[in-house]
Structure 1
Amino acid sequence: MNSSMALCRAATDNLPLSVAVLNAEGDILSTNAEWQEFGRENDIEMAPECIGANYLDTCDRSGDDEYARRAGAGIREVLAGEQEQFTLEYPCHSPDPPRWFLLNAAPVTDDSEMYAVVTHLNITDRKLTELAVSKQNDDLVAISRLISHDLRNPLTIALGWLDMWESPEADQVENALKRMEEIISDGLMLVQMEPSDDNKETVDLGEIASTSWEYVDSLDATLTVDDKLTVVAHASLLQNIFENLFRNAVNHGGSDVTICVGKTQRGFYIEDDGSGIPEEKRDTVFEVGYTNSTGGNGFGLAIVKRLVLLHGWNIQVTEADTGGARFEIDTSVGAVEHAYPELKHSHV
């Protein structure tokens, strides 16, 4: 076993996580360089390498520390052959700043003896991202309640009273109030959409695109659908994606713009033959509030991106062969995680 321990130390010293090998009683037989460095940095009373210390006893002496008790119980189950693997995320907020780790314990046998390899991986960056996203979601819920109740209700009352107002300015006021109602509706859609996978179905992309086109004030614009394609999607939300992209094309490409929907190797595209989007602005067009058109509220493309991400897809904007704007939507499995690794362990 001594040669095995030497090999273990040599193999794990360069790993970016703390590693220890325990025997069946929980005694620490070997640790790697990261484990020892952690002990020195955090003023752990026992020797930094902890060789000979009983890890399970340390967990038992933790007092009211729930995580230590769970760690000890889980490692015991691994050593007893009752679990193939045990994992636990836990906070470690001393000395400073707040930190989180992922503990993993897995069994190893050597000469019929049972051992456990225990690792601790620093996941602070991931946890801070999750907490930030969680706070952002809480803020969005609060904002949506404010918009829904404190703004929409008075607006509804104002529109009701407007019907009794006879004045040359009444139409202008009505248009302004309806514009406010549109902005409120778009804002609520942006923060409230959280569909479940249970509502997904296989839909025909051409049919959804054609139906969406009927709800767009298309003027003299034309729509063509080049390829037969089906996708698994939320039909109503996919329709909203098309409607917003079609309106964007008409608003920026002109009343006689030609819009084309087609298939790509990893999904589908929507492109137009308008003036296109400058390369330096393609990373910002999806931001809430971004608009370069009169009367725009900056929600349309932000809604598109959110709905795309909620499907687990990704979207990017590039240039069409005609020089217009081309939006490519990647519907392949893992598209959103590949484009945004930080979202893998969080909710959009």
Structure 2
Amino acid sequence: MADDRDATTVLFVATDRDRVVTSARRTEDEADGMEVAGATCTEGVREALETTDVDCVVFGENPLTAEGAQLLDVTDLCETHGDEGPVPVVLFTDGSYGPATAKATDGVADYVRADAEDAHAHLVDRIQWATTPSEDEEAEWYETLVESMEDGVLVFDGSGRIRYGNSAMTDVLGVELDLEGVPLGSLAGEPATVDGVDAIEGAVESVVAGEAEAPEVEVTVDPPGAEPRVVEFQVVGLPGGRDGALATVRNVTEYKQTESALRETRTKIERLHAVTGEMAACRSERELFELAVDAADRVLDADVCGIDVVEDETFGGVDIDEGGTFVPRVTSGEEYGPSSVEGVAGRAFRTGESVLVEDASDRTDASPVAEAGSVLVAPVENAGVLRAVAHEPGAFEERDRDLAELLVAHVGECLTRIRVGETLRERERDLVEERERLVSLFENVPSPLASYAFEDGRPVIRDANPSFEAIFGVDADDVVGDPLHDHVRPPSDDPADVADREDVVDLAGLDAELREGGHLETAVRRDTVEGPLDFLLHAGPLVDAETGEEGYVIYTDISRQKDRQRELQRQGEQLEALADVAAGDMRDWLNEARAYLELAEETGDEADLASVRHAHERMARLVDDLETLVDGETDLDPEPITLETAATRAWARVETGAVNLDVDDGSVEADPRSLEDLLQQLIRNAVDHGTPELVDPVSEGLEADTELAVRIGPLRDREGFYVEDTGVGIPPGERDRVFDPGYSTDEDAAGLGLGVVKEVVDRHGWSVRLRESRSGGARFEFVTDPKLRAIPRATEHTTVPEE
């Protein structure tokens, strides 16, 4: 064949000698190492085949004409005169003889339209395909290319037929198929049904035609005797410039299932977080247990749920090794009776670890519920167990166990709080026993706790437990004798700030309530060694309910619940605002692009097409900003990074033109990508809204030759950094709105840029203030250390005048 010699020998057959000469010359010009001879009749073809090693014959006449009637004679000669098999024949004629008819003609290996653009270039490609090495050598090339790959691989020729499929395709499709040489459409039938073959064919055609690169297509495969699966096809062109396509085929069923399971788990966790706030407000065990069982029923999808407690239990715990019975307190689905502590529930209570029984159909110790198929038991500390029962085996998974453990952890915390409150309100015990019990509780309770006594009509602190010292960063000896007021209301140097706080306690009302033996229970936010945290503050008397001369203050940490509530509220508000902004802007820009496109089609004016491109660029920027905000929901990975590194990367992502960048030495602890997003948005904001080329210098109060510069550096008086520009600045009246989603002074902008800045600041726990730079431009100051923070977060930003 052609690979055994230096050149490929081609015989061009046509009745017109001039056409033979012209086509031979143009074919040789299109291909290096290809020699083209000619023949004008059948005898000429016979002579050439007998005297020359012809690799391929090109028939240049339409078989439907008198001149093309000799096609069958030529194919017969090629069938019998090849040294290593038939000589391939490529039909090179006009479009009246269709490709389907040509390929159905015996002896014709391929077809090229002679009246198509670059017809001779396509002819050379078809000749090269027709004269490729033998099937064994070609199969060896394909096998070398794809058999080492773990994923399934299909190789397609230029016509869309499968040339090769590696052995991994059997595992991917779930059925063994003879793929070589078949059209792709054959996959849609037996023995495996593939739903979506048309999409794969379209992707292959696009790649072969050079219209697309690497489109991904997902289809559903239903192999016989196996579960349906989701298969992903990623199509690319063949390496080495070969005519055809290669598809990497992966079974992504498990990934899709995992993705769905994660979404479901996230939804259930959100449900649990939503109910924790209600649990914190429960005042009785019955109320708490009913709320917990209802939550378990909705989250675990069990047929039966219940909370069982050990009979005659006490706050100090229950030793079930001495015997006892689990008594159901609250159930849902169906009622069941008491059960022994010797079974699965007893083991979970003893060890403090949850137990999952996937098949309880033949186990009498797993559950008191009849027809129990699977059982999940999670211990409730110092109380009993949470049971979840399903009639079918295998109904619960490990993630259900995790959810149950999360739920009972909240139940245990709330139950402890409820029992502490109930115990403290008991007035029947002897004073000595009360104080002995209190000493133990005071020292070991994990929540911050302080006792007080009235002196001169005002409550003062008498003692504070280790948790109070550790969490609030104070020494008990230092706070003894302090007015209780100093540790109940939030500390602040600004009385106006205190007056505006929602969690400020009415001190006068507190004194009167405690003196009369009353109680105070309210949610508050306090500064701790770890920063501001949310607590449930409970204050009340210990002895003498009539006078309330002595009492306690306890802080129960509810920061997780509060943070989750604030986060959900913030996300909801942000998503709603973003949806409104993005929908409106995207609709306007699409309408604008459509209008200019129609105008361009009518007039052919390039300026209209430029307007279309401009609208698309605005939409692309909107999509980028939305992606940045969505990426902000992922976990942060803070690390030390220099301002110069982050600024350089952000600068490269913005078209800055003639704008200058000046960065002072400094570093910050931040997630690198988020910090780059923040700097990118501020740089873009300076370029878009303060560049002299985009504004009238005279009307903005600037010198005519003013050059815009962006400066980035560390703050002098606290940990943090600033970003400022020398542009036109932001008017004082507008500064309170700049972080609002959708706010922009440019009608062509979506107004999400500073929203990205706000998102990064909030997620890092920083603060930001906006002020005027010395040159009159905008200056953003970021404080990164919560302990040194003297300004509010971006969500509560204020305008600070020039110092």
TM-score class normalised by the smaller sequence:
0.5 to 0.7
Give the alignment partner of residue 205 of structure 1, picking from 643, 660, 664: 643
1:243 partner SS: helix
Cα 1:337–1:261 change in 2 (3 A) is closer
The Cα of 1:270 is off from its aligned counterpart by 0.6
The residue number in structure 2 matching 1:113 is 436
Task: Indicate whether 1:137 and 2:577 are aligned.
Answer: no
The Cα of 1:142 is off from its aligned counterpart by 8.3
The Cα of 1:214 is off from its aligned counterpart by 2.0
Name the CA distance, whole Å, in 2 between partners of 1:341 and 1:322.
Answer: 24
List per-residue Cα deviations over 1:90-147 (Å, max 9, x = no partner): 9xxxxxxxxxxx8683999957721468976233998799647525535766898997
The residue number in structure 1 matching 2:414 is 88
Name the CA distance, whole Å, in 1 between partners of 2:646 and 2:795.
Answer: 31
Task: Indicate whether 1:177 and 2:616 are aligned.
Answer: yes
Name the CA distance, whole Å, in 2 between partners of 1:341 and 1:217.
Answer: 26
The Cα of 1:238 is off from its aligned counterpart by 0.8
Name the CA distance, whole Å, in 2 between partners of 1:310 and 1:289.
Answer: 20
Contact 2:632/2:674 (CA < 8 Å) preserved in 1? no
The residue number in structure 2 matching 1:232 is 669
Name the CA distance, whole Å, in 2 between partners of 1:281 and 1:291.
Answer: 10
The residue number in structure 2 matching 1:260 is 711
Name the CA distance, whole Å, in 1 between partners of 2:289 and 2:750.
Answer: 53
Cα 1:260–1:289 change in 2 (3 A) is same
The residue number in structure 1 matching 2:739 is 286
Name the CA distance, whole Å, in 1 between partners of 2:680 and 2:778.
Answer: 15
Contact 1:224/1:261 (CA < 8 Å) preserved in 2? yes
For 2:710, give the aligned amino acid. I
Task: Indicate whether 1:214 and 2:652 are aligned.
Answer: yes
Contact 2:577/2:741 (CA < 8 Å) preserved in 1? no
Cα 1:296–1:336 change in 2 (3 A) is farther
The Cα of 1:241 is off from its aligned counterpart by 0.8
2:786 partner SS: coil
Name the CA distance, whole Å, in 1 between partners of 2:523 and 2:415.
Answer: 9
Contact 1:103/1:120 (CA < 8 Å) preserved in 2? no
The Cα of 1:188 is off from its aligned counterpart by 3.9
Task: Indicate whether 1:250 and 2:687 are aligned.
Answer: yes
Contact 1:312/1:336 (CA < 8 Å) preserved in 2? no
Give the alignment partner of residue 189 of structure 1, picking from 628, 635, 646: 628
1:114 partner SS: helix
Q: Where in structure 2 are the equivalents of 1:1-348 lying within 5 Å?
A: 59=284, 65=290, 76-77=315-316, 87-88=413-414, 105=420, 113-115=436-438, 121-123=521-523, 131=565, 133-135=567-569, 137-138=571-572, 167-168=604-605, 169-197=608-636, 199-226=637-664, 228-255=665-692, 256-264=707-715, 265-333=718-786, 339=792
The residue number in structure 1 matching 2:485 is none
1:218 partner SS: coil
Percent identity between the aligned chains?
Answer: 26
The residue number in structure 1 matching 2:179 is none
Contact 1:129/1:342 (CA < 8 Å) preserved in 2? no
The Cα of 1:189 is off from its aligned counterpart by 2.8
The Cα of 1:190 is off from its aligned counterpart by 2.5
For 1:220, give the aligned amino acid. A
The Cα of 1:308 is off from its aligned counterpart by 1.6
Could you say what the CA RMSD is over the residues aligned between the two structures, in angstroms?
Answer: 4.9
The Cα of 1:342 is off from its aligned counterpart by 9.7
For 2:670, give the aligned amino acid. A
Contiguous gaps of at least 5 residues in structure 2: 1-282, 294-306, 320-381, 383-411, 425-430, 443-448, 450-518, 526-533, 535-560, 693-706, 797-803
The Cα of 1:312 is off from its aligned counterpart by 1.7
The Cα of 1:325 is off from its aligned counterpart by 0.9
Name the CA distance, whole Å, in 2 between partners of 1:60 and 1:307.
Answer: 41
Q: Point out the more displaced range, 268-277 or 293-302.
A: 293-302
Q: Structure 1 length normalisation: TM-score? A: 0.58
For 1:76, give the aligned amino acid. F
Name the CA distance, whole Å, in 1 between partners of 2:654 and 2:733.
Answer: 28
2:616 partner SS: helix
Contact 1:75/1:105 (CA < 8 Å) preserved in 2? no
The Cα of 1:184 is off from its aligned counterpart by 3.0
Name the CA distance, whole Å, in 2 between partners of 1:293 and 1:322.
Answer: 22
How many residue pairs end up in the alignment?
260
The Cα of 1:216 is off from its aligned counterpart by 1.7
Q: Point out the more displaced range, 289-298 or 313-322.
A: 289-298
List per-residue Cα deviations over 1:140-192 (Å, max 9, x = no partner): 668989979xx89xx8xx99xx9xx9743333223313322322332343345
List per-residue Cα deviations over 1:296-333 (Å, max 9, x = no partner): 22111111111121122121101112221110011113
For 2:709, give the aligned amino acid. T
Contact 1:317/1:325 (CA < 8 Å) preserved in 2? yes
For 1:182, give the aligned amino acid. R
Larger Rg: 1 or 2? 2
The residue number in structure 1 matching 2:701 is none
Name the CA distance, whole Å, in 2 between partners of 1:292 and 1:275.
Answer: 13
List per-residue Cα deviations over 1:17-49 (Å, max 9, x = no partner): xxxxxxxxxxxxxxxxxxxxxxxxxxxxxxxxx
2:619 partner SS: helix
Name the CA distance, whole Å, in 2 between partners of 1:63 and 1:238.
Answer: 43
Contact 1:204/1:231 (CA < 8 Å) preserved in 2? yes
2:756 partner SS: helix
For 1:271, give the aligned amino acid. E
